[in-house]
Structure 1
């Protein structure tokens, strides 16, 4: 049912590659012919002829320039400015024309000497060879353009509901096929305007050469069928109209087609008279929900529900995550068709990426359950941990830590550097950074390497007041300045720190060392990795060595010592690396006497390894300082199907996502599935799909499953490590047979009318298909141009060689030199 493009125009054209056929060359050739004729008729000396030749060349150039401006004489050439190229073209043409005359004169003299007419035959061969050579240089091209008729895309509904018959005993499908044939004949009989061709597609959007013999499709989605057909037809043709031949019984429950208003192609409908069966059907349309939301903030999600059928009904509209009901509301629908928008309130308590389901259920019984739910994705963001990082000067510790905190999706970082060079002049700050207004928006303050005078007296007082407020924490990093003689010793801040500064040198150790955890440190959240204290301590000890540290005298009473350096002692004890104590407001004050944790990131990466422990250390440190609870952590696993309802025998696509957290390493975990069927029993292992990891996204797994019976299926996904379950999530979907296609024997022409109205089309009864042909715009377009070049044709080149060789052979054979 697809027309083949027909030729529109075929012709020869010359497209010379060289400038041999420019206007200047043609004028020069004509002038050369005239000069040759003149010199042949009026004999003259060689000197005179040479002088005239030299004078003729610039005159020919001037003539070529003048000819360009003769009105109406030359139309195929544009006016060219004088140039050496133009002079060469006119001079070359002149010499060529003069040479032609000289050649004719030569053969005339041969004829006079021999008295044989063969001389003129030889001249003809020579001129023929020259003409063939000029033809090759002119590049003859055969061009052919085609007309591509506009396409009328006909979508024929071949779903099972079309097999139903009317009172005459004729099925809807037979009437629809007859309408398609009637439309095609009417389009072919109409010879006004450009040609159009008909492309036929079924309700699945697949191209068909002929209508399917019987309607067998178990599910009707008219919007998808139109989109698929239009997309495939537009790939290589001009689509002038879409024609939908259907009973309008769309199983998706969709009634609003305003999103089709922007289409440039009208959709025409050929349908059947309305038949109302009175069966109840509830359909959920696309919920209105934000794409991103903040944890602990109430969301209001609008769920449109459309009801059809005569009887009143009571239903429950619910918001689900997997099989967990997050919010629900009872809704009463009156008699007759109606639509309501139900608003559900929900406050998320976990961060992460989720796929929610809005559903409607009733005990009244429905003819179609496939449209009772709609899914939508949403990302729940945790409240950011607000961190203020003040550094005295640019250094590696600042560079790596700043980059790490900026990459953390749960951290909102504000960083300030007082100067670039540690040896430069500090100067007085333009204004205080640690003000009451700035600190009230922060959860954690990090102080880098700086002298005491970097902070004003007012800033010290504001920082101490801030620490006395609820859940505010301070982190002090090691450095030559901050722990030196001009550092924080003797400031009001020193009393809030968990360590006592060293009273006399040495104040710094330059020896590399490996971090060693104390008993307190092995159980501390900052250093927890797997839960095995011994293994975790070994993992931290195996990290690249740190380059030196600041030395302190001791840990204050009541503070906790988390990590030490056994290679250096102070007062007979290992040097303190990490110590912490409670702040007045319930937060924490942590001191790290090192400034080279950046080596934990740089050295592994230079060897092609991941800097996982560096990221874990700082993520866990910041989260612990901020006092974040478990309820705000994203779940380790999510699982969801690509839609909530499926047909029996159709593929179900399950997506499982690992969501790594800073406190849990999921790289070695395995994903497993268990599917519980409608009978409440787990499916056998051979019927349970195995999740496959994505090559581009190692934390995303997919599994495919085909339900064989209708009913509710429950999917349990688990994360396992060392034969232990780390996390699990559950979701569900429903499968139903094809009976719902025939459960409603009605027709719905309003669907086709709504599509036609939204797109500028028309709706007609299925028996009036011939009238639709007059309402379809007839358009076509030029197809691609086909061209064949002959400059390299062996035939032309062979003819040229034959002419030249024959002339030379005959002239030599007859001694007519």
Structure 2
């Protein structure tokens, strides 16, 4: 322990005043005739006053040996949850090594631990290792190391404990240099994969065109399989196939060495619209490893057949709208001469072509995605029931049908009791006439419905619909079929069962969709609304949504899961989100909803799980104890006691990929960081600690005293000055 004086807080003016007082006291003492006792008292008073003005600080210092500062950067990325090759995970192996060497490390260094993954998180000393765990985010080396360099005190040396499986770009050398200390890389994990064949990379397209060819490329790493055959199989999901998968392509390869990586490439055709599920499987004779993925299959162009029973403004405007979209391949026919109209010449002599009934309803029907019937009379052309049955089967197999009204449609057109009536959203009326003329404004069932909410907000959509000119003419129906949705109704009329009379209604039938619009006057929205900013956009927006719904890109399901990623990060609980809508597409009230949720894990044994409401109409499903492989969630909802809808969600849960320790990356990191690379399993703490400098003496101030700033010291100054004055007066000095 030693003492030292430090400058106080008096500043320049205090120091100057103190010097003036000291100089004046010395000069006065030198010239004064006073005796020694009085002079001594004057010097003491002047010294006390000088110290009060200068306010110096008395520092109590202690000299101790200072250990070097060691920063341990512990990789907590998702790859550290992989197998260590010596029991447990790599992260557990790193913690075990640090815990075993803790006493030796703490005796030689002042240690702090920082966890690094996508960012840096300060853990503290080695005593807090039991609070550390590997996360689900990858180790983004450059970002995390830059984050770790923001600490206040620069370390003497750094240990980076990692398996080297780093991701992300960035300048690694710059990030390491910002740490301002040599970096030793301590590798953890197996240097080779376990025996078998595993997928190390997979390249698949985000989407493919229907019936088009797509390429799938897989990188396979084969370890300790020299001379053995590895089969890589690409299969398509097919419920009719054994095991639910149908083989699409296969490649066999004989592995030449114990550490070989090869690439398997396949070219296959997309066969079904929507999310098509695929699986790659690698078999090495001992075990099989699989990877699943999905490809969104879309049409390059939607083929549309538009058949109108007569020329009209409705046909002209809608045909022009459909043709304007380059994604539509439109074939249209309009009837200019009906069979009952006499002609003085034969069909060959007329410029009009005969109506190709057989081609449309038999031979070419499966080539189309959407079939539009506008005010078309099947009875007038004596279409056989087999043709309307073909059209019903077309919808059931996944096609789309749009029926538009007029005086020749519905029952008047011969559809009552036909096979096609079963697919319609309504039951046709048996009364004649079933099409009425007159102006009316359709009443939307809900401004939240996706076919009605055509603008950003519900309020804008409502104002737009209310500003539309009226339509002319509507169909009469007996009732609405169960499961159909009424989008808009005739506000002054009802169906024969007393319920709202639909003007626009939709229905799913088999795998296809049907839309009914009971009028042929939506062209009035195009011409009559030009003067209103919002209403002028309704025609294009409505028909765009209608075609999107019919071709499958607009979902009107009232029970549906939020989209899930192909692969789910391996953390628990896994949470899926489910939404339940009411009839008007507002959130369904929880008191009226009964949910049944069934989870089928990879073992194929279904089990019922619970859901909790997190927001109006939104339910969270949490799963724990997941096994590796494909999982399925099935939701069925009943609202007010009625079956409301169902939906499925599938996801793939994969364990952490056990990529081997990346020794090359660790060596590069050590080189850029000015340190060395070590294998943690083969390195002792002593070997690493010997690279640290020895402890050095360092003086540290343990306490600071400020006696000259206290009121007591000022009182002492006053007493000394008073005593000097009294003594001087007593001796008769001035």
User: TM-score, normalized by length of structure 2?
Assistant: 0.48
* Greater strand proportion: 2
